[in-house]
Amino acid sequence: MNYSLLTVEILATLLGVGVLLADLWLPASARKLLGYVAATGVAILLTYALGSGAPADGTAFGGMFVVDAMSNYFKGFFLLATLVVLLMSIESSETLVGYAEYCALTIFAAVGMLFAASANDFILMFVALELITVTFYILVSFSRGRLGSLEAGVKYLILGALASGFMVFGIAFIFGAANTTNFYEIAAKQTELAKSPIFLVGLLLTVVGLGFKIAAFPFQMWAPDVYQGAPATTTAFLATGSKAAGFALLLRVAFGAVPDITAHWSRLILGLGIVTILYGSLCAIPQRSVKRLMGYSSIANAGYLLLGVAAASLSGGTAVLSYLGGYIFTVLAGFAVINVVVNRTESDDVSAFAALGQRSPLLATGLTVAMVSLAGIPPLAGFFGKFLLLKAVAAHIGTDKMFLLALLVACVGVVLSIYYYFGVVRAMFWPRNATDLTPIAVGGATRLAVVLCVVGVFYLGICPNALVRTAKQAVAGLNVPPSAAEVHTAAK
Amino acid sequence: MEHAHNAHNAISAAAPAFSSRPEDLAWFILLLPLIAAAGIAFFVRKSNVLSAVFSIGAVLAAFFLSVGLFITFGIGGEATVTTPFSWIHVGDLNVNLGVTVDRLSVLMLLVVTGVSALVQIYSTGYMHGDRSFSRFFSSLSLFTFSMLGIVLADNFVMMFVFWELVGLSSYLLIGFWYEKPSAGDAAKKAFLTNRIGDFGFLIGILMVWAATGSVSFAGIAHKLGADPTALGSMASIAGLLVFCGAMGKSAQFPLHVWLPDAMEGPTPVSALIHAATMVAAGVYMLCRTFFLYQVPAAWPAPLSFLGSISALDIIAVIGGFTALLAALIAIQQNDIKRILAYSTLSQLGYMVMAVGCGGPDAAMYHLTTHAGFKALLFLGAGSVIHACHHEQDIWKMGGLWNKLPVTFRTFAIGTAALAGLPILTSGFYSKDAILDAAITGGHPVLFGLGVIVAAMTTFYMLRLVIVAFFGAPRTGAASHAHESPNSMIWPLIVLAVPSIAIAWLPLGDFLSAHFNPHFHPHEGGGIFGPFNHAPLAATFGTGALLFGAAAAFGVYWNVPKDPLPGQLGLIGRAMKNRFYFDEIYDGVLVPLHDMLARLADWFDRWIVSGLIIRGVHGSTELVGRALRLAQTGNLQTYTFMFAAGVAVVVMIALKLK
Residue A412 in any domain: the answer is: yes
pLDDT, average across residues A194-222? 91
Cα-based angle B226, B228, B232 (whole degrees, multiple of 5): 125
**Mean pLDDT computed over every residue of chain A:** 88
Rounded to whole angstroms, the maximal C-alpha distance in chain B is: 111
Residue A153 in any domain: the answer is: no
In angstroms, what separates the C-alpha of B91 from chain A's closest C-alpha? 21
Higher local confidence (pLDDT), A14 or B421? A14
Structure confidence at residue A202 (pLDDT) = 93
Are residues B325 and B347 in contact, defined by beta-carbon separation less than 8 angstroms?
no
Whether the predicted pLDDT of B558 surpasses 60: yes
**Residue B16 CB: number of other CB atoms within 10 A?**
10
Cis bond leading into A231, ω under 30°?
Answer: no
Whether the predicted pLDDT of B428 surpasses 60: yes
Are residues B488 and B360 in contact, defined by beta-carbon separation less than 8 angstroms?
no
Going by pLDDT thresholds of 50, 70 and 90, the confidence category of residue A209 is very high
Minimal-distance CA residue of chain A relative to B631 = A221
pLDDT, average across residues A35-49? 91
Rg over alpha carbons for chain B, rounded to the nearest Å, is 29
Is some CB atom of chain A closer than 8 A to the CB atom of B632?
Answer: no
Residue A104 in any domain: the answer is: no
Minimal-distance CA residue of chain B relative to A412 = B620
Dihedral, CA of residue B373, residue B378, residue B383 and residue B385, to nearest 10 = 150
CB pairs under 8 A between A and B: 77
Burial class for B35, CB neighbours closer than 10 Å (0-12, 13-18, 19+)? middle
Is some CB atom of chain A closer than 8 A to the CB atom of B631?
Answer: yes
Higher local confidence (pLDDT), B320 or B601? B320
Burial class for B544, CB neighbours closer than 10 Å (0-12, 13-18, 19+)? buried
In chain A, what residues touch B650 (CB-CB under 8 Å)?
A: 201, 204-205
Going by pLDDT thresholds of 50, 70 and 90, the confidence category of residue B15 is very low
State whether B654 and A286 contact (CB < 8 Å).
Answer: no
> Which helix (H) or strand (E) element contains residue B285?
helix B279-288
Going by pLDDT thresholds of 50, 70 and 90, the confidence category of residue A85 is very high
Is some CB atom of chain A closer than 8 A to the CB atom of B645?
Answer: yes
Tens digit of each residue's pLDDT (9 = 90 or more) over A259-281:
888 888 888 999 999 999 999 99
**Residue B477 CB: number of other CB atoms within 10 A?**
15
pTM of the model: 0.61
Counting residues of chain B whose pLDDT is more than 70, the rounded percentage is: 89
Going by pLDDT thresholds of 50, 70 and 90, the confidence category of residue A135 is very high
Instruction: Determine the Cα–Cα distance for residues B22 and A428; give it in Å rounded to an integer.
Output: 59
Which residues are within 8 A (CB) of B447 and not within 5 positions of it... i.e. 6 or more apart? B435, B438, B439, B537, B540
Residue A80 in any domain: the answer is: no
Q: Which domain holds residue A418?
A: 267-492
State whether A155 and B638 contact (CB < 8 Å).
Answer: yes
Rg over alpha carbons for chain A, rounded to the nearest Å, is 21
> Count of residues for chain B?
657
Which residues are within 8 A (CB) of A195 and not within 5 positions of it... i.e. 6 or more apart? none
Tens digit of each residue's pLDDT (9 = 90 or more) over B49-78:
888 888 889 989 999 988 888 887 766 666
Going by pLDDT thresholds of 50, 70 and 90, the confidence category of residue B90 is low
Counting residues of chain A whose pLDDT is more than 90, the rounded percentage is: 52
Counting residues of chain A whose pLDDT is more than 70, the rounded percentage is: 96
Structure confidence at residue B399 (pLDDT) = 77
Tens digit of each residue's pLDDT (9 = 90 or more) over B216-253:
888 888 888 888 887 778 888 888 889 988 888 888 88
Residue A215 in any domain: the answer is: no
Is some CB atom of chain B closer than 8 A to the CB atom of A221?
Answer: yes
pLDDT, average across residues B623-651? 84
pLDDT, average across residues A239-245? 93
pLDDT, average across residues B137-155? 90
State whether A201 and B650 contact (CB < 8 Å).
Answer: yes
Q: What residues of chain A, 274 to 293, have a C-beta less than 8 Å from chain B?
A: 279, 282-286
Q: Which residue type does B226 have? A: A
**Residue B173 CB: number of other CB atoms within 10 A?**
26
Instruction: Determine the Cα–Cα distance for residues B647 and B297; give it in Å rounded to an integer.
Output: 76
Tens digit of each residue's pLDDT (9 = 90 or more) over A93-126:
877 778 888 999 999 999 999 999 999 999 999 9
According to the per-residue pLDDT averaged within each range, which of A148-157, B370-379, B521-530 is highest?
A: A148-157
Q: Is B564 helix (H, G, I), strand (E, B) or coil?
A: helix
Are residues B67 and B154 in contact, defined by beta-carbon separation less than 8 angstroms?
no
Structure confidence at residue A491 (pLDDT) = 38
In chain B, what residues touch A166 (CB-CB under 8 Å)?
A: 646
Query: Of B12-21, B191-200, B294-303, B320-329, which gets the smallest average pLDDT?
Result: B12-21
Whether the predicted pLDDT of A299 surpasses 80: yes
Is some CB atom of chain B closer than 8 A to the CB atom of A80?
Answer: no
Q: How many CA atoms lie within 13 A of A18 on its CB side?
A: 13
Tens digit of each residue's pLDDT (9 = 90 or more) over B581-599:
777 777 777 778 788 888 8
Instruction: Determine the Cα–Cα distance for residues B404 and B381; give it in Å rounded to an integer.
Output: 11
Going by pLDDT thresholds of 50, 70 and 90, the confidence category of residue B14 is very low
What b/e sequence results for A351-381 when a residue is b if at least 16 CB atoms lie within 10 Å of its CB, and e otherwise? bbbbbbbbbbebbbbbbbbbbbbbbbbeebb
Whether the predicted pLDDT of A486 surpasses 50: no
Residue A28 in any domain: the answer is: no
Instruction: Determine the Cα–Cα distance for residues A99 and A89; give it in Å rounded to an integer.
Output: 9
Cis bond leading into A224, ω under 30°?
Answer: no
Residue A360 in any domain: the answer is: yes
Whether the predicted pLDDT of B455 surpasses 70: yes
Q: Cα separations (Å) of B478 from B61, B219, B408?
A: 39, 58, 14
Minimal-distance CA residue of chain B relative to A225 = B633
Q: Which residue type does B297 have? A: A
In chain A, what residues touch B640 (CB-CB under 8 Å)?
A: none
Going by pLDDT thresholds of 50, 70 and 90, the confidence category of residue A322 is very high
Interface test mutation site (partner A, options B612, B617, B638, B640, max chain A beta carbons within 10 A)? B638
Going by pLDDT thresholds of 50, 70 and 90, the confidence category of residue B6 is very low
Are residues A469 and A60 in contact, defined by beta-carbon separation less than 8 angstroms?
no
Tally of domains in chain A: 1
Is some CB atom of chain B closer than 8 A to the CB atom of A411?
Answer: no
Residue A379 in any domain: the answer is: yes
Structure confidence at residue A54 (pLDDT) = 66
Tens digit of each residue's pLDDT (9 = 90 or more) over B336-391:
888 888 888 889 998 999 998 888 888 888 888 888 888 888 888 888 888 877 77
Tens digit of each residue's pLDDT (9 = 90 or more) over B400-423:
777 888 888 888 888 888 888 877
**Mean pLDDT computed over every residue of chain B:** 81
Structure confidence at residue B16 (pLDDT) = 41
Structure confidence at residue B8 (pLDDT) = 43
Minimal-distance CA residue of chain A relative to B627 = A283
Instruction: Determine the Cα–Cα distance for residues A232 and A340; give it in Å rounded to an integer.
Output: 9
Task: Provide the pairing of β-strand B93-101 with B80-90.
Answer: antiparallel
Which residues are within 8 A (CB) of B341 and not within 5 positions of it... i.e. 6 or more apart? B259, B260, B262, B263, B270, B274
What secondary structure letter does DSSP report for B502? Answer: G
In angstroms, what separates the C-alpha of B654 from chain A's closest C-alpha? 8
Which residues are within 8 A (CB) of B346 and not within 5 positions of it... i.e. 6 or more apart? B322, B323, B324, B325, B326, B327, B330, B453, B456, B457
pLDDT, average across residues A459-471? 87
In chain A, what residues touch B648 (CB-CB under 8 Å)?
A: 218
